[in-house]
Amino acid sequence: MSDNIKLKLDVKEFELENGLKVIMCKRDELPIAAMNMTFLVGSKDEDEDKTGIAHLLEHLMFEGSPNTGKGEFDEILNKNGGDSNAYTSWDMTGYYLVLPSSKLELGLWLDSDRLAGFGITEESFGIQKSVVLEEKLQTQDNVPYGSLEEESSKLLFKKSGYRWPIIGYTENIKNLKFEDVKKFFDKFYKPNNAVLSIVGDIDYVETQKLVTKYYGTIEKGEAIIRKPFEDEFLNSEQSAVIYSDVQLPGKFLFYLIPKFGTGEYYCMQVLNQILTAGESSKLFNELVYNSRLANEAESVIYGMEHVSLFFVNLIARKGIALKDIEEKFDYIIDKIKQGDFPDADVQKAKNKLETAFFSKFSSDVFISEKLSEYQVLFGSYEKLIEEVEMYENITRDDIVEVANKYLNKNQRVNLSYLPKE
C-alpha cells in the first residue's frame, strides 16, 4: 500500500541558505495550491510565567506584517479566493494558506512578509489578548469538563512545559507584555526553525524561484537552545475529584505512552482502534450498549514530540456511580492484557487505520500540513509515507505487550468530575 502512496506523492525538496526547508508536492487534480508553514515551537517552549504566549502569537500573525496593516492579510487573501488558518500545539505552530494556484505568488508574498519582520502593533496585541481570554472562557472555563487539560497536565507532568495548558493560564495571559511577544517571535520565528510545504497544481522550477525570491532574503536566526526534556513516569495513580457545573458525572483517565512516531506508539494506535472505533468497539459495546453504564465511552491518543497521551473519556448515565464505570473499564483493559480477544480484532483495527490514512490524501491541505509537520518533528517527511507500514506487522502479542506495559492503574491520572451540590 505504501508504494502506491509514494507514487502519488511526487515530492521535491530544497533548502535556502537561511535554513528554511521547503517541500514541494505536485498534484494537479484541482487548480489550487496549499501552503503550510510549520515552526518547531509550541506551548512547551514557553517560560512558566509566560504561558499562552505561543497561542497568542498565532493569533497576532494575522494582524499585520511589515507591508500589510491590521486586517489586510485576510482581506487580500479572501479577495483572491483564498483561505487561511492556524493552530498551536504543545510542540509546534502551523499556518496554512489555500488559494488558486494562479495566485501562489501572492500567497508566498503574504506569508513571507509576516516572517520577514515583526509588524504587529500594540493595539492589535491588546485586542487579541482579550480575544484569547474570551476564547479560554468559552472553550475551557465556562464549559462542562473544560478544565480537563489544566487539571490533568499538572498531575501528569512535574518538570516539562507539557504541564500547563496550550492556551495558557488566565493570569499569565493577562500579564503578558507586548515586548514578551516580540522576544518570542524574534527567537523562534526564524527560517531555520521552520518548514514550508507547498502542495497542488504547481511547477517545481517556477515555485522554487518564487520561494527563493520571497523567503531567501529573510535573516537566519541564532541556534535555539531548548529546554532539556526529562522523561517523567507515574509510579502511583494520581487522583482528583472536581466539583463542577456538569449535569452528568465524568470519569477521565490519562496514561503516558511512547512518543509520536515510535513502534510502540503505533501499537497503541491499533489498541485504541480496538477499544473505540465505532459502535462495534469494545468500549461502546461494554459500557454504553450492553451494561448501559455510560452515555459516552471513547478513547483518543495525543501524539507528542517527547511523550504521548492515551486519554479515556467516560460520561456516566444518570444515577450511575463512577466507580462502577471505572471497574468496568479496568475489566475491559484486563481482558486485553490477557490476550482475550481475537486476531480478527487486530486486523480489523489495522484495516480501519489504513483506510483512514489513505482517505485523507485526497486533501492538498492535509498533505501540506503533514509534510511540514513530519519534517519538523522527524527531520524527514518520508516518515509520513512510511507510516502505514508501521501498522502492517503489528500482532495480537504486540497489543498485549503494550497494554501490560503502559495501561496500568499505578501509571495513570484518574479524574472524577461530579456535579456541584
CATH number of domain containing 162: 3.30.830.10
55 and 175 share one domain: yes
401 and 321 share one domain: yes
Is 354 within the bounds of a domain? yes
187 and 273 share one domain: no
Is 35 within the bounds of a domain? yes
Count of Cβ atoms closer than 10 Å to residue 146 Cβ: 18
Cα 210–Cα 216–Cα 218 angle in degrees, nearest 5? 130
> CB of 274 within 8 A of CB of 341?
yes
189 and 320 share one domain: no
Range of the domain at 140: 8-215
Average pLDDT for 93-117: 97
Radius of gyration of the chain (CA): 23
Least confident of 84-98, 243-257, 258-272, 344-358: 344-358
Q: Read off the pLDDT band of 258 (50, 70, 90).
A: very high
Is 229 within the bounds of a domain? no
309 and 200 share one domain: no
Q: How far apart are CA 301 and CA 406, in angstroms?
A: 13
188 and 157 share one domain: yes
Is 124 within the bounds of a domain? yes
117 and 247 share one domain: no
CA dihedral 366→70→139→91, nearest 10 degrees, is 50
191 and 260 share one domain: no
Per residue in 126-178, pLDDT (tens digit) is: 999 999 999 999 999 999 999 999 999 999 999 999 999 999 999 999 999 99
Q: How far apart are CA 311 and CA 317, in angstroms?
A: 20
Is 355 within the bounds of a domain? yes
b/e burial code for range 275-291 (CB count within 10 A of at least 16 → b): bbbeeebbbbebbbeee
205 and 242 share one domain: no
71 and 145 share one domain: yes
Q: How far apart are CA 387 and CA 350, in angstroms?
A: 12
Q: How far apart are CA 274 and CA 284, in angstroms?
A: 11
Q: How far is CA 35 from CA 107, 241, 262, 376, in A?
A: 8, 44, 27, 15
Domain boundary among 215, 249, 280: 215
| CA-closest candidate to residue 255, choices 88, 415, 390, 387 | 415
> CB of 252 within 8 A of CB of 415?
yes
Higher-pLDDT residue of 97, 3: 97
Q: E strands along 143-273, which residues?
A: 194-200, 238-244, 250-257
Is 221 within the bounds of a domain? no
Is 256 within the bounds of a domain? yes
177 and 29 share one domain: yes
> How many structural domains comprise the chain?
2
- φ/ψ (deg, to 5) at 86: -155, 165
Is 270 within the bounds of a domain? yes
79 and 186 share one domain: yes
Residue identified by cell 496593516 is: 69
Domain boundary among 215, 230, 259: 215
Q: Read off the pLDDT band of 421 (50, 70, 90).
A: confident
Average pLDDT for 381-406: 93
